[in-house]
Structures are given as structure tokens and as C-alpha cells.
């Protein structure tokens, strides 16, 4: 992996990554000149027992882009600069212009509920220079590089004592609110372990203590053995619709042997992870011969300085479509009570995806 760290005129960082050596004289552009003033804070929600983040500076968007402006496209246009320079690189990562978490956050308001500075980081990861591309269309070694980048970001961000959890994710499709379709994801680095990973960690710790094995490792072994919901079965990595899927086409990708993060995987394991990813993504897009919307997130061990023998990295896809034309809306039971109701079985939806033939050799 080749890596080039730059600084934007407004002070934000930009890191370029490539499979090949890069020219060292690239200059980082920015759509704005002034530094971003971000002072988000968090408030405690007493009835849910979780933090909520307030980042009002996000409304302070003085920059009015021209129509068709794509801030993620490499450009040397000095009149309408984008976030990325022209040059030979594969993947770029930079600080979000309007972050929900910032390492400079300080002095939260004093209220009748506990508050905290929303310390942390929000990064944008541009998957490719190709605006019309998609994750599944990238070559395997490009996907492998992306896994290396996510691993490096996890390690670097997690090393900061203020950051206790690192979440890479991708929102794809207008159905999940995406307006900028250039293939990209984000990384949120939190000062606390967020509610869902925290709950999972507690359940995995209890299971590990009782069984001296990982909870997810046992689930993966069950899926590989039963094959009923299996979508990819590689030497190191498996992909499947989990037995307890909440979304019709919910899919997990995980190494067969527990590892706390992408950074803890070997090169060979990450190469197999890339094959699993490409298989799943091509099946998704092949199912109805159209781009398949989803939320994707990568769950790894908290970076709180504690040992996490229970942790097991995995990638989750939450596709909002139940059928080619019907969206799963989260409504009363899901958002009010937290209890998901599915109208299909994971076994049946797995059959749909198993039937989509894909070729990785492109």
C-alpha cells in the first residue's frame, strides 16, 4: 500500500492511497478556504441510556455549489475546487467538512442531563476516482486495498485516547437518502462505545466467559455447516444471510476464525474478505439487474484500550428493499419498540441470492 498524507488549505487532512507509487508533489484542494468551526456536543438520553450528538454547525453551509458539482471528483478547477486533486491514486480519505464529531470539541452546555464534548472524527473515504462506479465493480486488488485502508484508519484513529470506537460505513442509493452517488463511504470515530456495539460487546463477553469461544465464531460455523443461508464460503471468510436477519436481504461477511478488527487479519485473509465482498455485491446488483441500495457498516473491537478476546470483526449489509419494488420502512414496531417484523424467511431470501451467478475474474 502506497500512502501520501497532505493538508488542505482549511487545515483538514487528506490521505491518498494507491496500489502503485504516487507522485509526491500532489496538492490538496478544498471547496472552502476558512477552517471549519465545529464544536458538537452530546447529551445523555435518560430513558434510552444513550448519547445523542448535536452538530448545529452542519447548517452553516455558506458554500453554494453549481449544479452537477461533484466534490469527490478529482479536479484542478481553481474556481470551483473539489475535495480531491488530479493524480494517479486509487482511494482518498479526508476530514468531513461538516463533522458530527471533532477532536477540537470543548465546553459543552450545562443542562439538566449530562453532556460531553462530541470528541472524535468524521472522515470521508472515496472508494475510486470513477464517479459512475460502484464498490462491486472494483477489481479485487482495489477492494483489497480498501480493506487495508479501513484497517489503517481503524488503527490510527483508535490509537487516539479520545476515540473509543471506529465505525466505517457506506450508505448507498437514493432509498437510504444518498444524493451524492460517487462511490464513497464514511468513518465515524466516537468518544464512547455506541449503543449497538456496546450491547453486542456485553453479549459477546458473557458468551465468551461461559463458553471460552466467540459468539459470532459459533454463528459463522453454524452457517457454514448448514449452508442453507450461505452466499460465499472461502478459505478464510464466509458470507451469509444470518438466521436472525432483520432485513429481507441482510447479509454478513466475517472471517471464520475470530479476529478483533480488519487490522488483525493477515493479507491473505483480507484478500479472501475482498472476494467475499465482491461476491455479495455482484449478487446484490445482479438480483434485479439494478444497483441494490443498502447501509453497510463494519463492526470491530472497541478502541478503548481494553483487551477484547470476545470481539469478531464483521461487515453488515442492511438492504432496505423487501422486493424489487417494495421498501422496508421502519415504522411503529421497529422504531417505537425496537422489535423487527419480517414478512419473509432468511432461508427463502438466501435462495434468491444463491441463484445469482457471479464471476469474480474481471
Within 8 A by CB and 6+ apart from 275, the residues are 140, 232, 234, 237, 360
Nearer to a second copy, 4 or 125 (CB): 125
d(CA 81, CA 294): 30
Number of other CB atoms surrounding residue 28 within 10 Å: 22
Cβ atoms of 125 and 91 within 8 Å: the answer is: yes
| Minimum distance of a second copy from residue 270's CB (angstroms) | 21
Nearer to a second copy, 79 or 225 (CB): 225
- Give the β-pairing of 13-18 and 165-172: unpaired
Query: Measuring CA to CA, how many Å separate 26 from each of 3, 11, 298?
Result: 12, 16, 30
Nearer to a second copy, 343 or 361 (CB): 343
| Minimum distance of a second copy from residue 61's CB (angstroms) | 10
Nearer to a second copy, 7 or 48 (CB): 48
Nearer to a second copy, 156 or 222 (CB): 222
| Contacts of range 59-67, beta carbons closer than 8 Å, 24 or more positions apart | 60/98, 61/98, 62/32, 63/31, 63/32, 65/31
| Minimum distance of a second copy from residue 4's CB (angstroms) | 26
183's grid cell = 462511490
Query: Measuring CA to CA, how many Å separate 186 from each of 81, 171, 298?
Result: 21, 9, 11
| Minimum distance of a second copy from residue 94's CB (angstroms) | 17
Q: Is 271 left (phi over 0), alpha (psi -120 to 50) or beta?
A: alpha
Nearer to a second copy, 11 or 332 (CB): 332
| Minimum distance of a second copy from residue 170's CB (angstroms) | 7
Q: Is 105 left (phi over 0), alpha (psi -120 to 50) or beta?
A: beta
Cβ atoms of 81 and 154 within 8 Å: the answer is: no
Nearer to a second copy, 80 or 226 (CB): 226
Q: How far is CA 171 from the centre of its chain?
A: 8
What SS3 class is residue 296? strand
d(CA 155, CA 1): 15
| Minimum distance of a second copy from residue 149's CB (angstroms) | 17
| Minimum distance of a second copy from residue 186's CB (angstroms) | 6
Query: Measuring CA to CA, how many Å separate 140 from each of 94, 133, 136, 272, 290?
Result: 23, 14, 9, 9, 21
Nearer to a second copy, 62 or 112 (CB): 112
Q: Residue 271: CA atoms inside 13 Å, Cβ hemisphere, count?
A: 5
| Minimum distance of a second copy from residue 96's CB (angstroms) | 11
| Minimum distance of a second copy from residue 45's CB (angstroms) | 4
| Minimum distance of a second copy from residue 71's CB (angstroms) | 18
Nearer to a second copy, 36 or 245 (CB): 245
Amino acid at each position: 500500500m502506497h500512502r501520501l498524507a497532505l493538508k488542505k488549505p482549511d487545515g483538514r487532512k487528506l490521505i491518498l492511497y494507491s496500489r502503485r507509487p504516487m507522485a509526491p508533489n500532489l496538492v490538496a484542494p478544498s471547496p472552502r478556504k476558512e477552517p471549519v468551526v465545529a464544536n458538537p456536543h452530546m447529551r445523555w438520553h435518560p430513558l434510552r441510556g444513550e448519547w445523542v450528538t448535536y452538530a448545529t454547525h452542519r447548517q452553516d453551509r455558506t458554500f453554494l455549489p453549481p449544479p452537477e458539482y461533484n466534490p469527490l471528483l478529482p479536479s484542478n478547477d481553481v474556481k470551483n475546487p473539489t475535495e480531491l486533486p488530479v493524480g494517479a491514486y486509487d482511494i482518498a480519505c479526508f476530514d468531513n467538512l461538516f463533522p458530527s464529531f471533532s477532536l477540537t470539541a470543548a465546553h459543552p452546555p450545562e443542562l439538566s442531563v449530562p453532556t460531553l464534548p462530541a470528541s472524535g472524527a468524521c472522515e470521508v473515504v472515496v472508494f475510486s476516482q470513477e464517479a459512475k462506479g460502484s464498490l462491486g465493480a472494483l477489481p479485487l486488488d482495489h477492494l483489497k486495498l480498501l480493506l487495508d485502508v479501513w484497517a489503517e484508519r481503524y488503527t490510527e484513529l483508535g490509537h487516539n485516547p479520545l476515540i473509543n470506537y471506529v465505525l466505517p460505513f457506506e450508505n448507498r442509493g437514493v432509498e437510504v437518502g444518498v444524493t451524492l452517488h460517487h462511490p464513497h463511504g464514511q468513518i465515524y470515530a466516537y468518544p464512547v462505545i455506541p449503543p449497538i456495539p456496546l450491547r453486542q460487546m456485553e453479549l459477546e463477553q458473557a458468551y465468551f466467559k461461559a463458553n471460552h469461544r466467540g459468539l459470532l465464531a459459533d454463528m459463522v460455523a453454524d452457517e457454514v455447516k448448514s449452508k442453507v443461508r450461505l452466499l460465499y464460503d472461502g478459505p478464510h471468510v464466509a458470507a451469509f444471510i444470518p438466521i436472525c436477519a432483520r432485513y429481507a436481504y441482510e447479509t454478513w461477511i466475517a472471517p471464520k476464525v475470530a479476529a478483533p478488527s480488519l487490522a488483525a487479519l493477515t493479507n491473505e485473509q483480507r484478500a479472501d474478505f475482498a472476494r467475499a465482498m465482491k461476491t455479495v455485491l455482484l449478487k446484490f446488483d445482479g438480483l434485479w439487474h439494478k444497483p441494490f441500495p443498502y447501509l453497510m457498516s463494519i463492526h470491530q473491537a472497541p478502541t478503548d484500550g481494553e483487551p477484547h478476546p470476545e470481539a469478531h470483526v464483521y461487515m453488515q449489509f442492511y438492504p432496505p428493499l423487501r422486493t424489487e419494488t417494495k421498501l422496508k420502512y421502519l415504522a411503529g414496531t421497529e422504531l417505537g419498540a425496537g422489535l423487527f417484523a419480517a414478512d419473509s424467511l432468511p432461508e427463502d431470501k438466501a435462495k434468491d441470492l444463491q441463484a445469482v451467478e457471479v464471476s469474480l475474474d474481471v
